[in-house]
Amino acid sequence: MSHRLVRQPRAHWILLLLGLVVLLGLLMLGGYSSGVLGGSGRDQPAGDMQADRVPEEALKAGPVIRLDGPTVRSLSMPEKTIALTFDDGPDPQWTPQILDILAKYDAKATFFVIGANVNEEPELTRRIADEGHELGSHTFTHAELAVTSAWQRQLEITLTGNAIAGATGLQTNLFRPPFSSSADALTNGDFETLQEIAQLGYVAVLSDVDTKDWKRPGTDAIVKAGTPEVVAGAVVLMHDGGGDRSQTVAALDVMLPALKAKGYRFETVSKAAGAPSAMTPAPTAQQWRGKTLRWAQVVASAVATGMTWLLGIALSLAVLRLVVQLITVRLHRKRVKRRWSYRRYEVLVPVSVIVPAYNEAANIAATVRSLVASDYPYLEVIVVDDGSSDGTADIVRRLRLPDVFVIQQANAGKPAALNTGMRAARGELFVLVDGDTVFQPDTVYNLVQGFADPRVGAIAGNTKVANRKGFLGRWQHLEYVIGFNLDRRFYDVAGCMPTIPGAIGAFRAEVMNDVAGVPGDTLAEDTDLTMAVIRAGWKVTYEEHAIAWTEAPSTLRQLWRQRYRWCYGTMQAMWKHRRAVGERNRLKIGLTYLALFQVALPLTAPAVDIFAVYGLLFLTWQQIAVFWIGLLALQGFAAAVALKLDREKLGPLVSIAFQQIVYRQLMYLVVVQSVVTALIGSRLGWHRMARTGSAAALMSHDEHDRPLARN
């Protein structure tokens, strides 16, 4: 039957692109916000470590520094006044314990928070402010600003301010750069960075005393380092996040009562310096930006987790498929040997070869000649011209070959042409052949010998790509050998062959009566027909020695149209025969295999590629290299096995790496398009591939003279 061609949807490509962009953006936000380190010490020199451009008054300044004017202004803590400061939080484990100790001893402190942590712990951030403590900015990801670009410094400060506003409704003008200590340790890069941040309205807070608690030197060492001189005031640097802070908590519980007993008071930086509170109400717009940022980060974290699982599922499916294929390859080889060794008789019954042809002038002569040249003794060839406009029927007639018949009909589609040919056929077995396919002399003989088993109703042959030149030809050659023929070996062993290819397949005449001929209500009539044969109770097998050479698409556009039709038609057939899952036949195994590896696995591919881009940005190159090399190794191994089984040269293996760049993406986009088309219920028209005569060329070259000896 013919199908009305309707305009296909295009909006979903825009939605897919936008979805992938959003997905990548969320992953990048998640990767950016999760790259939080901690501590105040530099592991190695970064940027300009000289101090020749730092003014003397800055090096001798107090811990609170204003650099928004022409001169350096600073403040120090009054005598016996300590401003405890905590960096790298809030941390869900250590910050609450520190807050409890501060409340226990009625002490106030200033917490220099990391914006990404604020978004993860908004309630804890609010608790800090609600209990009378002060908040300051410590960048969004603990980035060392002196070695980052100007736009990243601006981003770090802006995002942190928004995060604090979104969590607390407040904004702060205090800022402490990561990896900082006292003023006398300022470098050229540090000073210039603080000048830039000051123009955004921030006051820099360094320290007088660095406890170095991030090194975890022990509770006693932290207590000793955090105790100032007898009467001096100080800004004391400690940490409530960025790692194990159990020693900090223990030291604080010792320091506070000991110093209070000596007359020290513990205040926020602003109050200790006699300055107005650094915390003021944030504008409503900033609060909403902060809330939006927080939810985006929450979603990004969930997406990153989901993507990790999805990547694991995709890899697991790929490995599972390979393992299943390799296991069944051994079983299939043994089964093939048994089939040829223990056949009860040689099958030599009359065979009718049906060739549906629509505008196949480029290849039809070669196809018919190869069939007539078969060494099978009882053979007739019926060519059904389905409304061709290029003289296909006339070409066949001019050949004047014996036992070749031509039937012409108005264009009605391939299923109708096949049914017309079978109604005119006289053989007990039907071999269905595409009009661009060339057989070897022993192909028909090898193909039909499996009918010695009366349970076998249909047999799939081994299709090979004739036009293998160029990357596209080699990629399709590998796909046929790996993706199709390895799978067919599994289907053969499992007894669930879902597709006999239209290029080469054999059927008993009585089977065609049982299933009422070739169905025309799906675009994959070969899959639809094969599934119907299995559901009718017949066995379907694969004969690897029956080789047919076919012309594959020579352009990406042709390939897209062909695979789109195949994929969509397969989905139609799967849906049509879905009830087989509940029936007593093995088609349910084939349907499950198709659903997992032909639909679900390709649908995960876009996300996997997006995750790979994310990995290039946020993972080490060694991790990415191991992943891709491992993936290519698996594919290369499967390809080598498949090529060896099909007695093919290993040369095309060199193109596998390039196949990942173009071909794989095209194939998964085909699946995406097919799923969308299926969901919206569109119908597809017949897409004819422009023929170049590559299959015909086999008749004039030695390439087709690779016959396998009759077994």
Task: Give the number of other Cβ atoms within 10 Å of residue 448's Cβ.
Answer: 25
Least confident of 89-93, 410-414, 517-521, 638-642: 638-642
CATH number at residue 168: 3.20.20.370
Of 80 and 342, the structure prediction assigns the larger pLDDT to 80
Alpha carbons 466 and 694: distance in angstroms, whole number: 6
87 is catalytic: yes
Among 282, 301, 330, residue at a domain's last position = 282
Cα-Cα-Cα-Cα torsion 215, 216, 217, 220, nearest 10 degrees, comes to 140
Q: Of 282, 300, 331, which residue sits at a domain end?
A: 282
Do 323 and 256 lie in a common domain?
A: no
Single out the residue in 282, 298, 324 at which a domain terminates. 282
CA distances from 170 to 98, 176, 476, 501 (A): 22, 18, 61, 68
Residue 41 has a pLDDT of 54
**DSSP summary character for residue 265:** E
High-pLDDT (> 90) share of the chain, %:
53
Q: Is residue 1 part of a domain?
A: no
Q: Is residue 211 part of a domain?
A: yes
- Statement to judge: residues 604 and 689 lie in one domain: yes
| pLDDT tens column, 246-296 | 999 999 999 999 999 999 999 999 999 989 999 999 999 999 999 999 998
From the number of C-beta atoms within 10 Å of its C-beta (0-12, 13-18, 19+), residue 350 rates as: middle
**Residue 625's domain is classified under what CATH number?**
3.90.550.10
Domain for residue 468, yes or no?
Answer: yes
679 and 566 co-located in one domain? yes
> Which secondary structure element, helix H or strand E, spans residue 331, and what is its range?
helix 284-341
Same domain, 326 and 200: no
Active-site position among 87, 434, 436, 487: 87
**Local confidence band at 707 (pLDDT 50, 70, 90 cut-offs):** very low
Q: Which residue would you say has higher pLDDT here, 681 or 9?
A: 681
266 & 357 share domain: no
Q: Which two tokens stand for residue 618?
A: 């946020």
344 and 427 both lie in a single domain: yes
- Burial string for 604-622 (b: 16+ CB within 10 Å, else e) reads bbbbbbbbbebbeebeeee
pLDDT number for residue 95? 97
Provide the pLDDT confidence category of residue 341 given band limits of 50, 70 and 90. low
Is the predicted pLDDT of residue 396 greater than 90, yes or no? yes
pLDDT of residue 38: 53
Q: Is residue 396 one of the residues assigned to a domain? A: yes
Whether residue 398 sits in one domain with residue 502: yes
Q: Which of 239, 477, 577, 704 is catalytic?
A: 239
Half-sphere CA count of 310, side-chain side, radius 13 A? 19
Residue 687 has pLDDT above 60, yes or no: no
pLDDT > 90? residue 29: no
Question: Confidence class of residue 301 from pLDDT cuts 50, 70 and 90?
Answer: confident
Same domain, yes or no: 517 and 458: yes
Q: Please give the residue range of the domain that contains residue 553.
A: 309-704
**Does 699 have pLDDT greater than 80?**
no
In tens, the pLDDT along 469-512 reads 888 888 888 888 877 778 888 899 989 999 999 999 999 999 99
Q: What does pTM read for this prediction?
A: 0.69
pLDDT tier for residue 682 given thresholds of 50, 70 and 90: low
Mean pLDDT taken over the chain:
86
Q: Is residue 69 included in any domain, yes or no?
A: yes
Q: Verify that 404 and 500 share a domain, yes or no.
A: yes
278 and 341 part of one domain: no
Highest mean pLDDT among 90-94, 331-335, 557-561, 621-625: 90-94
Same domain, 90 and 154: yes
Active site residue 609: no
pLDDT (tens digit per residue) in 412-459 = 999 999 999 999 999 999 999 999 899 999 999 999 999 999 999 999
CA dihedral 462, 467, 469, 473 (to 10 degrees): -60
- Please report whether residue 294 resides in a domain: no
Number of domains in the chain: 2
Asked whether residue 564 is domain-assigned, the answer is yes
Q: Are 96 and 240 in contact (CB under 8 A)?
A: no
pLDDT digits (tens, 9 = 90+) for 41-100: 554 444 556 878 888 888 888 999 999 888 899 999 999 999 999 999 999 999 999 999
pLDDT above 70 coverage of the chain, percent: 89
Q: For residues 549 and 402, state if they share a domain.
A: yes
Residue 501 lies in a domain: yes
**pLDDT tens digits for range 457-468:** 999 999 998 888
